[in-house]
Structure 1
Amino acid sequence: MLQISDRIRIIQGDIVKMEVDAIVNAANPTLLGGGGVDGAIHRAAGPGLLEECKGLKGCATGEAKITKGYLLPAKWVIHTVGPVWQGGQKGEDNLLASCYRKSLELAREYEVRTIAFPAISTGAYNFPSERAARIAVSEIKKFIQENQLPEKVFLICFNEETCRHLKAALSESFVV
């Protein structure tokens, strides 16, 4: 059995190239594509993803839905809608935590062994990266302590700053 610290990995790279069972899409509420990670995933997956997403009729903030991966190396795409940062007084922390939790619950339900997350809400939605990193690591760590699946969680960073914040949050979370 893997230790918790062995089950979480931080990588700077491109989430659409990850060879994992599922990738998480930081989607907008329509699920019909957009900018950033969302647009990149839709472009890489091909038109089948958009067609399937049209049938899902959107997704509420803090919730998650799953589709096939189509042309992606990943079998599944878990779409979650992160909160837009409004200063921290509108429940943003709880909504972001819910994104990670709901995505992991879907992963468990679909028997996903490996999953890759982007830094949800830290791009166009302006959630502070350091704060988001602590929430992400805390939720992932809690979930994998109580569940066998997913076996490995990859946190994919678009830039050096995000990686730095995630690594700091991960090292802090394992201090006893």
Structure 2
Amino acid sequence: MDGVPRLGPRTGGTGLMSITIRPAVAGDGATLTRMIRALAEHHGYEAHFSAQPEDYEKFLADPAAINGALIACWNGEPAGCATWQRSYSTFIGRETIYMEDISVLPDYRRKGIGSALLRAMARFVLDRGAPRLHWLLMAWNGEARRLYAEAGAVIEDGNCHCILEGEALERLAS
């Protein structure tokens, strides 16, 4: 994950904030599983969560992977993550980065970890020379909406996320 920022502890007006961010690497599959499972539970989607640590290990070990992750630590303990994948905008004619998820474990929320992950993703996108970071926002998630709006994100009305899978995917493909 060349170009992924490694952020050390940050000092704020109240003293030392112990947030560090690093690229996820092979061996972090169990950590990502725990964090993404917590996100699925927070969103009420635990029944749809089926990823296993080895699923994440596959892309973490693949030097040609089109996706990756950042891990945020609070006082050295994994506390959150951001997962991303390369995308392409036909309107722009360039590669963009799609942020699949930001997840912060419940015990670490409201400590600035989500904001730090979003800043690190912005740095990563610019370091790659990509013009855009984009993601899906669940309409009901007011906390995330506030975080993204404060960061300056444009939050579009009217767009929705469509999924084609299982029998419907097979039926359409036949």
Q: Would you call these one fold, judging by a TM-score over 0.5?
A: no
TM-score where L is the length of structure 1: 0.40
More strand as a share of residues: 2
More helix as a share of residues: 1
TM-score where L is the length of structure 2: 0.40
